């Protein structure tokens, strides 16, 4: 670890302990210097409370998005049109669960528990991505999610591999590799439909028509309405603004849509020679804020299903905890009863 970080780590308080910090200014300066030098902040390093809170907020939302995001596609596992498609889709949905686990683990390094975060998700006190409040009406939606939603996720998450907080940045490296496979499978699925019968082509086009605008909203509100961006960029949690990443995504998608033989549903989408990018039409931000308030087509369904899955999984968590306790007892020589409680 480089000098500035080593300085910050020396004498760092344990989690849960009050920050006895007689030399707060020096620690703040060392933190600022480490961020400026592009060093990684690690869990036991001193960090400003607001930096920690921002990371917990963003990583938790991200984790929640991954596990809620399993639902729209899982809706099609039993109806996949072939064994090959079913196997691919099952693997993808399982990957999303894995991403959730990496991210909850990254959040836990900041001193919060997974139970606490899940409780906030279930009670609506923490958000998940707006995109997962839209329904998957046809098989083509699985392709549109892979191509557009995973494509947007990669565009947003590749820069997060350079996030200043080490555990989040490292989790993103593996997540991005897996998301690339997801994006490719979505593209390939849509290509097969687009080149299929006229009905299949129309189904692919309809899915793209419905998922295009919500995918652009995934990047968050426009920069002038993004309350967290400036501070998150100063801390190098975010490396680019919401609008910068949205623009990058549009520029990537236009030639891909052409290769797919599909049209992006925006009459104002055109190449701007002067600025070297595509201009695109106005996003309906009223719809975005409405979905965030809980009024999207599937908000209620997603949360109800999530709470039910959590309740139905209680016995699995109990069994896993009992198994872990038994395993730990074997190594420490202590004995535990069936509930994992230590016994004399």
Q: Give contact residues for ligand FAQ (rule: CB under 6 A).
A: 57-58, 61-62, 65-66, 69, 96, 127, 129-130, 145, 149-150, 153, 156, 217-221, 226-229, 232, 238, 242, 292
- Taking CB atoms, the residue at the shortest distance from ligand FAQ is 69
Shortest distance (Å) from residue 341 CB to ligand FAQ? 37
Shortest distance (Å) from residue 315 CB to ligand FAQ? 26
Pick between residue 224 and residue 273 the one whose CB is nearest to ligand FAQ: 224
Shortest distance (Å) from residue 102 CB to ligand FAQ? 12
Pick between residue 194 and residue 232 the one whose CB is nearest to ligand FAQ: 232
Q: Tokens 């004399």 belong to which residue?
A: 344
For 74, the token pair is: 């899982």
Pick between residue 131 and residue 191 the one whose CB is nearest to ligand FAQ: 131
**Residue 67: φ, ψ to 5°:** -80, -35
Shortest distance (Å) from residue 23 CB to ligand FAQ? 31
Quick one: three-class SS letters along the chain?
A: CCHHHHHHHCCCCCCCCCCCCCCHHHHHHHHHHHHHCCCCECCCCCCCHHHHHHHHHHHHHHHHHHHHCHHHHHCCHHHCCCHHHHHHHHHHHHHHHHHHHHHHHHHHCCCCCHHHHHHHHHCCCCCCCHHHHCCCCCCHHHHHHHHHHHHHHHHHHCHHHHCCEHHHHHHHHHHHHHHHHHHHHHHHHHHHHHCCCHHHHHHHHHHHHHHHHHHHHCCCCCHHHCCCHHHHHHCCCCCCCHHHHHHHHHHHHHHHHHHHCCCCCCCCCEEECCCCEEECCCCCHHHHHHHHHHHCCCHHHHHHHHHHHHHHCHHHHHHHHHHHHHHHHHHHCCEECCCCCEEC
Shortest distance (Å) from residue 153 CB to ligand FAQ? 4
Shortest distance (Å) from residue 64 CB to ligand FAQ? 8
Pick between residue 8 and residue 62 the one whose CB is nearest to ligand FAQ: 62
Pick between residue 201 and residue 213 the one whose CB is nearest to ligand FAQ: 213
Left if phi > 0, otherwise alpha if psi is -120 to 50, otherwise beta: which for 277? beta
Pick between residue 161 and residue 292 the one whose CB is nearest to ligand FAQ: 292
Pick between residue 3 and residue 295 the one whose CB is nearest to ligand FAQ: 295
Shortest distance (Å) from residue 244 CB to ligand FAQ? 11
Distance CA 134, CA 116 (A): 26
Shortest distance (Å) from residue 37 CB to ligand FAQ? 23
Shortest distance (Å) from residue 159 CB to ligand FAQ? 9
Contact 13, 19 (CB under 8 A): yes
Pick between residue 39 and residue 150 the one whose CB is nearest to ligand FAQ: 150
Pick between residue 9 and residue 256 the one whose CB is nearest to ligand FAQ: 256
């Amino acid at each position: 670890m480089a000098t500035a970080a080593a300085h910050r780590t020396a004498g760092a308080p344990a989690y849960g302990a009050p920050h006895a910090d007689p030399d707060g200014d020096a620690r703040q300066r060392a933190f600022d210097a480490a961020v400026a030098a592009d060093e990684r902040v690690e869990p036991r390093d001193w960090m400003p409370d607001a930096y920690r809170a921002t990371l917990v907020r963003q990583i938790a939302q991200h984790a929640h998005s991954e596990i809620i995001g399993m639902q729209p596609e899982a809706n099609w596992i039993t109806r996949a049109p072939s064994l090959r498609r079913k196997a691919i889709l099952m693997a993808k949905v399982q990957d999303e669960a894995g991403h959730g686990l990496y991210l909850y683990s990254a959040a836990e390094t900041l001193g919060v528990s997974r139970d606490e975060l899940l409780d906030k998700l279930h009670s609506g006190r923490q958000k998940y991505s707006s995109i997962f409040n839209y329904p998957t009406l046809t098989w083509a939606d699985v392709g549109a999610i892979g191509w557009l939603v995973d494509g947007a996720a990669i565009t947003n998450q590749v820069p997060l591999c350079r996030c200043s907080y080490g555990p989040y940045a490292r989790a993103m490296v593996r997540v991005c590799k897996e998301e690339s496979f997801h994006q490719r499978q979505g593209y390939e699925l849509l290509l097969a439909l687009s080149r299929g019968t006229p009905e299949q082509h129309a189904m692919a086009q309809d899915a793209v028509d419905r998922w295009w605008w919500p995918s652009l909203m995934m990047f968050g509100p426009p920069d002038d309405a993004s309350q967290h961006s400036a501070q998150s960029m100063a801390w190098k949690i975010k490396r680019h603004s919401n609008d910068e990443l949205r623009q990058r995504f549009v520029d990537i998608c236009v030639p891909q849509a052409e290769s797919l033989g599909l049209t992006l549903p925006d009459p104002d989408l055109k190449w701007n020679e002067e600025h070297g990018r595509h201009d695109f039409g106005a996003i309906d931000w009223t719809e975005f804020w409405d979905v965030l308030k809980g009024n999207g087509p599937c908000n209620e369904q997603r949360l109800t299903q999530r709470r039910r899955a959590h309740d139905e999984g209680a016995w699995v968590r109990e069994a896993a905890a009992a198994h872990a306790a038994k395993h730990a007892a074997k190594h420490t020589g202590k004995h535990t009863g069936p509930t994992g409680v230590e016994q004399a």
